[in-house]
Each structure stands twice: as structure tokens, then as C-alpha cells.
Structure 1
Amino acid sequence: MSGFERPSSKPSSSRGVGSVGGGRGVGRGPRRSLVAVGVGAVVVGVFATGCGASAGDDKDPEKRSFALSGRTLTVDSDDSALELVAADVDKVQVTRWFEGRVAIGGDPKVTWAMKDGTLKLRMHCSGVVADCSAKHRIEVPRDVAVVVRGDDGSVKADGFKDSLNIHTKDGSVGVEDVAGALTLRTDDGSVRASGIDSKRLNVNTKDGSVRLDLAAVPDKVSARSDDGSVTIALPEATYRVTTGTDDGGVDVSVPRDERSSHVVSAHTKDGKVTVRTAN
């Protein structure tokens, strides 16, 4: 498979090392130290060429198409940056970039498979010292709802008119030009959304800031951060707004009416809350 270097050779065999010192008892100490030196040399040899693997260095990405059964695509990814785009395609089109290096261990690899509407993306990268990086660009047929479940990696999405539900455990989330119901969640990372025509938005991050720029008046917006500022820019209208912060200021400049059907909730435990009219 292109895009990764194979592990370097293993250290010299113990037979040659054991002959040092001429005795069994004496040979044990040098054997351990020389093997350690050998492992160190392998690690240095494999990783001295750069600071870390980057999927962007893969100049020959792989591509594959997957037929989608139903009108909902679920993306299940364990360790990859994801970019999802609504496109004029009949099948789910996936482009994959991958770079990986392992000092001592099996060859690193990535896998992909579609089953029952779920695109499963996996990266296998383990050893004494392992350094791998993957990125996937996923083109999705229009009028398809999308659900993303990621363990580790940022997620970007653009152009979706149907519902979009993204949850990553570790990584930032960014979406643009979305019209369907929108749910965004990350356990560790910022959330950015712009050009949003969605009527309902639910956004949550445990550690990071939230910034939402809406292009259409929503019915309901809920944005929450455990640690980070929350900023919501809204089209001109009258809103029923609730805010809260345990440590930070609150600035609400949109027209307010407790009887409004346009409900906005913005809360953070640590940071400033801003609800303003969009520029």
C-alpha cells in the first residue's frame, strides 16, 4: 500500500551479542544493553526524517465508491480527520490520504467498508513507537441525512440540506451552508458554524469555544460549552433569549420578547456569552 514506510529491520540476533564477554553470565548484561541500543537506533532511523506523520504528505491518495442503501449515511471513524461535502453524485465517493510509520510492530494500514448504510473507517497503527495520520474526504449524494461518530479527529461538513448530526470525542467541528436540523457535539474542541439556514440547532462542547452565524431566523438554538466562550449571531428578529455563565460576561444585543417563538439558549461555565445581530 502506498503512503507509508515499512518498519526498519529488527536489531541484530542475540547469538552475536551473547558471544561478547566469553561467558554466559557476563553475556547477559551486554545483550540487554546492545538490544536496547539497537531498538533506539531503529526508532531514531524511522522517525528522524520529520516531526510526525501527516496525511497531507500522501501525494497519491486512494479513491473508492460505495453504494448507499437508504437515505441516511452513518460515518463511523476511529482516528481520522473528516471532510464531508454534499455533491452531485450517485454513490458515496471517498478519497483517503494516509501516512504511517512504526518502529517495531506490524505494518500500519487503514481500512474502509460500507454495510447497512454505515461507512466504517479504521486505522491500525501500533508498535513500540507508532506515528500515523489519516484524512478522508467524503462526497455524499444530495438529500441524504448524515450522522458522524468519530473517536479522534476533526470534522468539517459543507452544503447539507438534510439533517446533520456530528459527534467527535476529540477534535474541532466546522460546518458551512447547512439547512437541515443541526446537531454538533465534541468532547474536546471548538465548534464553528456559518451560513446556517437550519431551524433547529443543538451545539455542545465540553472544552472549547462555540461560534454560530445564522443566515435565517431559527425556531430554536441551544449552545453550550463547559469551558469556552459562546457567540451567536442572528438575523434581525425578536427572540426569547436565556443565557448563563459561571465565570464571564454576558452581552445580549438582539431584540428580546418572552413571548417570541424564536428561542435561543446560550450557556457556558467558563467564558463570555454573546448574542448579537448578524452583520
Structure 2
Amino acid sequence: MTRTASVRAVAAAAGAVVLAGALSACGASADDDKHPDHRAFALRGHTLTVDSDDSALEIVASSAVRTGTVDVTRWFQGSVAVGGAPRVTWSFANDRLVLRMKCSGLVADCSARHRIEVPRGVAVTVEDGDGSVRAQGFRDPLDIRTDDGSVRVGDCTGALTLRSGDGSVRADVSSRTVRATTSDGSIRLRLGVVPDRVEARSGDGSVGVVLPRSSYKVTTGSGDGSVHVSVPRDDSSRHVVTAHTGDGGITVETAN
């Protein structure tokens, strides 16, 4: 009896290891969700806060969205071998959109993605615990923070504040004020108009800034890396550019 029980225990353990390996090898992807959920929320004011714990986010300002409405599309895939069923939730109150994912247990594998469409004229703040963030089309201020993930922004003219705890930051915009920070990752900024102020700071990663032809007051600093500044410099200029990194090269150049 004891030997039989031991054999069964070993077989069960081996089966669990095989199952764990198989599930982890597959890897859940929200892109595999062919039937995403959709919901519209009523926006009362002219500001929106997106509070997400674990999701890739795409945020778009569009004139096609009705005034006073936030349209959200959600893709989700997940599995838990042993434990509660995975699930995602969304809620909206006081112009704050809260997105949550519950995925815990033995061999938990989940993936979520949200596309958030907001009307023009809305300033947006993003607080993402874990996930990449993409945004485009904003004419109003945009403030993005993700603790773990990349940030990509395009086609914006409003003031930008972009922060990642662990990930790269990219922006191709016509904003006059851009502040980009990452603790671990590279920063690439391309400005379509002469900015009033650009700040780019990386704890560990290269920094590149491409600017329209003009004179700039430029301040740079690298703990370990080369620095190359080719834009015309003028310490009395009202157009200020600051680029710093703890470890990596810095390039500040004029667009071709």
C-alpha cells in the first residue's frame, strides 16, 4: 500500500510538472480573443483618469467619439490550472476608469488589453501598474505613468508627461512641453515644432532628442556614455532642452 501510494504521488507530481510546463509554454495572449467586450461610459467633465493594474493600454483621442462618452474595448485570455477562475472587471465613477484583472493560482496565465477612445478636448491621466501604454491624437495634456512597460505616443500637440519605471519611452509629437522619464530604458523624442521645454531623463539607457532647426539652451549629463549635441546652442534661448542618463549615450540633433 505504501509503495503504491508513493508511486501515485510521484506520478501526480510528474503530471503537474508536465502540465505546468505545457501551460507556461503556450503563453496567453489577449490578441487571441476574437470576441472582445465593449462598453461605453458617461464622462461628466473634461478630465479622465485611467487606473489599470495589469493590462496593455491603447488610448486614442478621436472626434468620432460622442462628447461626454468614453468607449472601451477589452480583449482577454486567461487560464488557471488550480485556483479560482480568472476574470477582468471594469468600473467607472467620478470620471475615473478602473480596470482590474484577477489571475492567481497554480500555473496562472492571463493577458489583457484595452482600447480606450475619448472625445477631443479631454485631458487624460494614465496610471498603469504593469503593461505597455500607447496614446495618440491628443491636443490636451496627457500624463502617463506605467510601473513596468513601454510608453509610445504619437500625433499629439498637448503637454506631455511620460514616465516608466521599467521600459523605453518613445514620442513623435508636436507638443511644446515634453517631460519623459524612465528608470531603466531608452528615450527617443522627435518634435515636430520648436518646443518651449523638453526634459528627458533615464536612469539606465540612451537618450535621443530630434528637434526642428532653431537655437536651444541645452543641458546634458551622462554618468557613463558619450554626449553629442549638434543643434545650435544659445544659453539665452527660451527653448530649453535637458537630457540626462545614468548610463548611456546622449544625442541632441536637428531633424533632417
TM bucket normalised to smaller:
over 0.9
Separation in structure 1 between the aligned mates of residue 192 and residue 16 of structure 2, nearest angstrom: 57
Separation in structure 2 between the aligned mates of residue 44 and residue 220 of structure 1, nearest angstrom: 50
Residue 181 of structure 1 and its aligned partner are, at CA, apart by 1.0
Separation in structure 1 between the aligned mates of residue 49 and residue 206 of structure 2, nearest angstrom: 30
Alignment of 1:33-48 (within 5 A): 33-37=10-14, 39-40=16-17, 42-43=19-20, 47=23
Aligned to 2:125: 147
Give 5+ residue unaligned stretches, structure 2: none
Instruction: Indicate yes or no: 2:75 matched with 1:100.
Output: no
Q: Secondary structure at the match of 2:92?
A: strand
* Aligned counterpart in structure 2 of residue 63 of structure 1, from 38, 59, 77: 38
Separation in structure 1 between the aligned mates of residue 15 and residue 238 of structure 2, nearest angstrom: 69
Amino acid at match of 2:227: V
Cα deviation per residue 1:33-79 (whole Å; 9 max; x = unaligned)? 3543454465467x28x520001111111111011121111000011
* Aligned counterpart in structure 1 of residue 219 of structure 2, from 233, 236, 242: 242
Structure that is richer in strand per residue: 2
Residue 216 of structure 1 and its aligned partner are, at CA, apart by 0.8
Aligned to 1:82: 57
Aligned to 2:92: 114
Aligned to 1:185: 163
Amino acid at match of 2:34: K
Cα RMSD of the aligned pairs, angstroms, is: 1.6
Amino acid at match of 2:55: S
Alignment of 1:164-179 (within 5 A): 164-179=142-157
Separation in structure 1 between the aligned mates of residue 20 and residue 199 of structure 2, nearest angstrom: 48
Instruction: Indicate yes or no: 2:204 matched with 1:227.
Output: yes
Separation in structure 2 between the aligned mates of residue 26 and residue 193 of structure 1, nearest angstrom: 64
Instruction: Indicate yes or no: 2:196 matched with 1:215.
Output: no
Amino acid at match of 1:57: D
Q: Secondary structure at the match of 2:154?
A: strand
Separation in structure 1 between the aligned mates of residue 27 and residue 5 of structure 2, nearest angstrom: 35
Instruction: Indicate yes or no: 2:252 matched with 1:275.
Output: yes
Cα deviation per residue 1:201-234 (whole Å; 9 max; x = unaligned)? 1110011100000011111111000111100011
Larger Rg: 1
Separation in structure 2 between the aligned mates of residue 248 and residue 64 of structure 1, nearest angstrom: 48
Q: What's the % identity of the aligned pairs? A: 59
Aligned to 1:131: 109
Instruction: Indicate yes or no: 2:248 matched with 1:263.
Output: no
Separation in structure 1 between the aligned mates of residue 147 and residue 255 of structure 2, nearest angstrom: 30
Give 5+ residue unaligned stretches, structure 1: 1-20
TM-score (normalised: structure 2): 0.94
Separation in structure 1 between the aligned mates of residue 94 and residue 225 of structure 2, nearest angstrom: 46
Separation in structure 2 between the aligned mates of residue 257 and residue 41 of structure 1, nearest angstrom: 65
Q: Secondary structure at the match of 2:31?
A: helix
Cα deviation per residue 1:244-278 (whole Å; 9 max; x = unaligned)? 10111111111111100101000111111011111
